[in-house]
Structure 1
Amino acid sequence: MPALHASHRSLLRPLLLCAGLCAAGAVDSANTVPMEITATLTPAACTPTLSSGGVADYGTMSASILRQGQFTTLRAMSMTFSVNCDAAAKFSVKVIDNRRASVVPGIVAAASGDGSLGDDYNFGLGAVAGRNVGGYTIRFMPDTYTGDYQPVRLMSSSDGNIWNNNGNGIASKRLQFSWGSSSGTPDAYKAVSGRLSVQAYINKAENLPLTQDIPLDGSATLELHYL
């Protein structure tokens, strides 16, 4: 069962202000006193959450659904993804594949029929007896998201500097995602919320050990970064 885990990182930005005050007249150790002012500034604290505990549970399925020579497409599962901050903040989300070593090359492109979805979009479903089980995609459903309860646009970036509108919302391991009210500019929000979907694909029957149970063991982390 693919499991998504939300996490966040806080970037600390230190600020050091130093001031020296001295009395008029002769300057020596008897009539001067140093003063230092220090502070640590942090971004607003933001907490990402996923409904259903972040678990897309497909339950128990019969191996008879698998076919020789064909990948098997399971139904899409969806959950709510939210980020809540104690003050308005700009942030992005990056998706990390915790089962990257188990990716079945090309399964997403072949099973979905979309050749543009390379393995950057392909998240691993774990392995059984040395056989990789399959892959899945994660999609931020663009039209469902609101920022502070107003519709917002989903956008993505490969470097955190140049942002483009993202119309399909399918998560790539090389991209980070953010939201804004206008093209190309992430905005600061206290609350962002919308739907996220998982689409799983199972390996060909001949590539799996069908004499034993085969768990779907996908795991990804949604990591929050402050901009």
Structure 2
Amino acid sequence: MKKYFAALSATALISVAPYALAASSTDLSVTGTITPNACEPKLSDGGNVHHGKISSKDLNKDRETKLTDKTLQLTVNCDSPIAFRLKPIDNQPGSSTEPGLGFGLGKINGDEKLGYFEALLRRPMADGVLARALRSINNGDTWSQGSDMLPESISAFGVPGGPATPIAIKDLVTDLLISTYIARADSLDLTNDAALDGSVTLEVLYP
């Protein structure tokens, strides 16, 4: 019996050996850079945009309703000049009525999207000098002029009239214009109060 099992084992090894020899391998690398630089972003008014109570009767039934624009001030202060990037993270993913353009305002009644809001960088000042907003939709491989912060994009700042290349900045001050749009009223069941619940996290990325 022992010889039988030994032979059976040998046969099994021979039969799988070609597959074992042909198997490919892959490597996992963990990389990164620890930088002495640190940047702290801050928003005025605690980053809160309040629209108060909005009567459902004041909403457009067959098209979006634009609310009054609000402006916050965004500052980014770094320990030393660095070409940082800003990454907006939508905390209400999948709830925007304009995906790819604006950030969601949440949902009501299960799956009814309330609308979206846009965030635009206006009059950026880099270390006291006028700068221009840049945007990349491919994680920084290429840049173009663009003041609107978009989901799945990153923003940086360059020299006006110069190449679309992020510059090193120590202290940034810029207006952040918030434009809010409510979905057409005939797409919503507004028999009860509906709370706008838009939220975005601005993350600082380092090159």
Report the TM range for the smaller structure's normalisation. 0.7 to 0.9
Residues 135, 149 of structure 2: 8 Å contact kept: no
**Counterparts of 2:131 and 2:52 in 1: how far apart (Å)?**
34
1:42 aligns with 2:35: yes
The residue aligned with 2:153 is 175
**Counterparts of 2:100 and 2:167 in 1: how far apart (Å)?**
26
The residue aligned with 2:3 is none
Map 1:33-182 to 2 at 5 A: 41-104=34-97, 106=98, 119-130=99-110, 131-141=112-122, 144-157=123-136, 158-166=138-146, 169-181=147-159, 182=162
The residue type equivalent to 1:134 in the other structure is G
Question: What is the percentage of aligned positions where both structures have the same residue?
Answer: 32
Deviations 1:72-130 (A, max 9, x none): 111111100110011111100111111112122x4xxxxxxxxxxxx211211011222
- CA shift, 1:203, in A, is 1.4
Greater Rg by CA = 2
Aligned pair count? 173
Could you say what the CA RMSD is over the residues aligned between the two structures, in angstroms?
1.7
**Counterparts of 1:71 and 1:128 in 2: how far apart (Å)?**
16
The residue type equivalent to 2:117 in the other structure is Y
The residue aligned with 1:222 is 202
- Normalising by structure 2, report the TM-score: 0.78
The residue type equivalent to 2:129 in the other structure is Q
Residues 99, 218 of structure 1: 8 Å contact kept: yes
The residue type equivalent to 1:60 in the other structure is K
User: Gaps spanning 5+ residues in structure 1: where?
Assistant: 1-10, 14-40, 107-118
Runs of 4+ aligned residues of structure 1 deviating over 4 Å after TM superposition are none
SS of the equivalent of 2:148 reads coil
User: Gaps spanning 5+ residues in structure 2: where?
Assistant: 1-30
Residues 43, 89 of structure 1: 8 Å contact kept: no
**Counterparts of 1:49 and 1:84 in 2: how far apart (Å)?**
9
- CA shift, 1:12, in A, is 5.8
SS of the equivalent of 1:102 reads coil
Residues 12, 42 of structure 1: 8 Å contact kept: no
- CA shift, 1:43, in A, is 3.7
SS of the equivalent of 1:44 reads coil
- CA shift, 1:51, in A, is 0.5
- Normalising by structure 1, report the TM-score: 0.71
Greater strand share, structure number: 1
